[in-house]
Amino acid sequence: MIVHLNGKLVPRDQALVSVFDRGFLFGDGLYEGLRAFDGRVVAMDLHVERLRQGLAECRIAWDAAEMAGLTDELLRANNLRDAFIYWQVTRGTPGPGQAVRGRVPAGPMMPTVMGFCYPTSGLAQNAAPAVKRAVISQDTRWLRGRVKSISLLGGVLAAIEAHEHGADDAILVRDGLVAEGTSSNVFVALEDGFGGTRIATPSLQSAPILAGVTRDLLLAADPAIEERSISVRELVEAREIMLTGTLSMVTSVVEIGGRPVGTGRPGPCAAGLLELLLRLIHGGR
Ligand code: PDD
C-alpha cells in the first residue's frame, strides 16, 4: 500500500507521524472518506466543500481543493480503480521548543496531510442493499456533528456496545429524536396515512449530525424525501429503516432493538434508494 504523507507518496511502513502531532494527542483534525468506481470519485465537489467548511471552522489552513488531484495520484500509485479513499488533515506537530500540550496551538503549524486507499467492490457488486441489525443508543457525542472530526470515540463506543449486544450497528438518538448511525445517515419509510409510504431523514437542525454526501445526493435527486425531525417512536414503528454512507451506500436495517423492522427483510424503499444512488453514480455524479 502506498500512502500519501505531507506531499510524498511512501510505502505504508514509511508513513510515520510524530507522537506530538495534534491529531494523535488531541484528535485535533478532520477527515474525509471518498469512494471511487472505475477510477472516478463520487461527488468529489461535495467532499471538497465539506472539508473546506470544516477546516475553516477549525482554523486549519489547508486548501481542500487539493484533495481532488491528490486522490487521482494516490489511486494511480496504488493501481486501484474501485476503492475507498481516506484523507486526514490534522493541525500539525509543534516545532522543537514549542509547547506540545497547549489547547491553544503554540503558533502557526504545517498541517499534517495523510491519505490512503484500499480496494472495494465495483458498482456491479452493489446491486442489493446490505443488511444490518441495529440497536438504539443515546447519542453522547459532541454537538458539532457537521464537522467531520477524527475524534470518533463516541461513535466507536456506540458501535462496540452494539456488537456486545449482538447487533451490527447503533442508531444514535438525542432528546427523543433520531440523529444518525455511527458512520451513516438514517432514512425511514413511514406510512403516509393514505396506504402509501413516504421517506424521511432527520433535518440538520433536528440533531447535530453530519451532512452526509450520500444523503445530500439522494435529497437533491428526490424532492419527495422529507427532511424533518424524526422521533424514536417513528423510528421503531417505521416500515423500513435505511442507513446511507459513502462506504456502505444503502443498508437496510431489518431489526431494531431486537424487534423486526416491518417485514424483517429489506424492503422496496431501501432497494429504491440504492437504485437511485446507482443511477446518479452511473450518470457521473
Ligand atoms: N462515515 N454520519 C457519520 C457519523 C459518518 O461517519 C458518515 C460517514 C456519514 C455518511 O456520510 P457520507 O455519505 O458523506 O459518507 C454520516 C465515513 C464513510 C467513515 O467514517 O468512514
137 has a pLDDT exceeding 90: yes
* 232 contacts 176 by C-beta, under 8 angstroms: yes
Average pLDDT value for the chain: 97
* Domains of the chain, first to last: 2-120 (3.30.470.10), 130-282 (3.20.10.10)
Cα gap 231→160, rounded to integer Å:
24
**Cα 33 to middle of ligand 1, angstroms:** 7
pLDDT-derived band at 213, boundaries 50, 70, 90: very high
- Main-chain phi, psi angles of 70, to 5 degrees: -65, -35
Q: Which pLDDT does position 108 carry in this prediction?
A: 87
Candidates 142, 185, 204, 218: which one to mutate for ligand 1, based on the most atoms within 8 Å of Cβ?
185
Active site residue 148: yes
Sign of the C-alpha dihedral computed for residues 122, 213, 40 and 16 taken in this order: negative
pLDDT level of residue 87 (50, 70, 90 thresholds):
very high
Ligand 1, atom nearest to 145 Cα? 4
Residues 254, 239: Cα–Cα separation, whole Å:
10
Residue 1 is predicted with a pLDDT of: 97
Residue 212 — very low, low, confident or very high, per pLDDT cuts 50/70/90? very high
Find, among 276, 284, 265, 278, the residue nearest to 224 by Cα.
276
Our mutation pick for probing the ligand 1 site, out of 85, 152, 210, counting the most ligand atoms within 8 A of Cβ, is 210
Question: Per the structure block, which three cell numbers stand in for 80?
Answer: 486501484
- The amino acid that residue 152 corresponds to is L
Ligand 1 centre from 130 Cα, in Å?
Answer: 16
> CA-to-CA distance for 170 and 174, rounded, in angstroms?
13
Confidence class of residue 124 from pLDDT cuts 50, 70 and 90?
very high
Per residue in 233-244, pLDDT (tens digit) is 999 999 999 999
Instruction: State the pLDDT at residue 40.
Output: 98
Q: 49 C-alpha to center of ligand 1: Å?
A: 15
Q: How many degrees, rounded to 5, is the angle at CA 227 between CA 186 and CA 137?
A: 30
Residue 186 predicted with pLDDT over 90: yes
Between strands 130-138 and 169-174, the pairing is parallel
Cα(117)–Cα(120) distance, integer angstroms: 9
Q: Identity (one letter) of the amino acid at 240?
A: E
Please state, in angstroms and rounded to a whole number, the distance separating the CA atoms of residues 145 and 155.
11
Residues facing residue 198 across a β-bridge: 190
Q: Average pLDDT, stretch 148-153?
A: 98
Q: What is the pLDDT of residue 106?
A: 85
The predicted pLDDT at position 35 comes to 98
Catalytic annotation, pick one of 22, 91, 148, 174? 148
Question: Separation of 97 CA from ligand 1 center, angstroms?
Answer: 37
Type of residue at 108 = P
Query: pTM surpassing 0.75?
Result: yes
Mean pLDDT of 105-131: 96
- Of 263, 225, 265, 244, whose CA–CA distance to 171 is shortest? 244
5 confidence band (pLDDT: 50, 70, 90): very high
Residue nearest to atom 21 of ligand 1 (CA): 33
What single-letter amino acid sits at 183? S
User: Which candidate, 142, 167, 165, 164, places its Cα nearest to that of 155?
Assistant: 142
Q: Which of 156, 171, 184, 248 to mutate to test the pocket of ligand 1 (most atoms within 8 A of CB)?
A: 184
Residue 87 C-alpha cell reads as: 484523507
pLDDT computed for residue 163 by the predictor: 98
How sure is the predictor about 177, in pLDDT bands with cuts at 50, 70 and 90? very high
| pLDDT number for residue 7 | 98
Mean pLDDT value of segment 73-102: 97
Using CA positions, which residue lies closest to atom 20 of ligand 1? 183
Distance from Cα 284 to the centre of ligand 1, integer Å: 21
Note the pLDDT tens digit of each residue in 272-282: 999 999 999 99
Cα–Cα dist 219/200, whole Å:
10
Supply angle C-alpha 243, 248, 251, rounded to 5. Answer: 40
What mean pLDDT comes out for the span 24-50? 98
- Using a 6 Å CB cutoff, which residues line ligand 1? 33, 155, 180, 183-185, 210, 212-215, 244-247
- Share of residues in the chain with pLDDT > 90 (%): 98
pLDDT value at 107 more than 90 = no
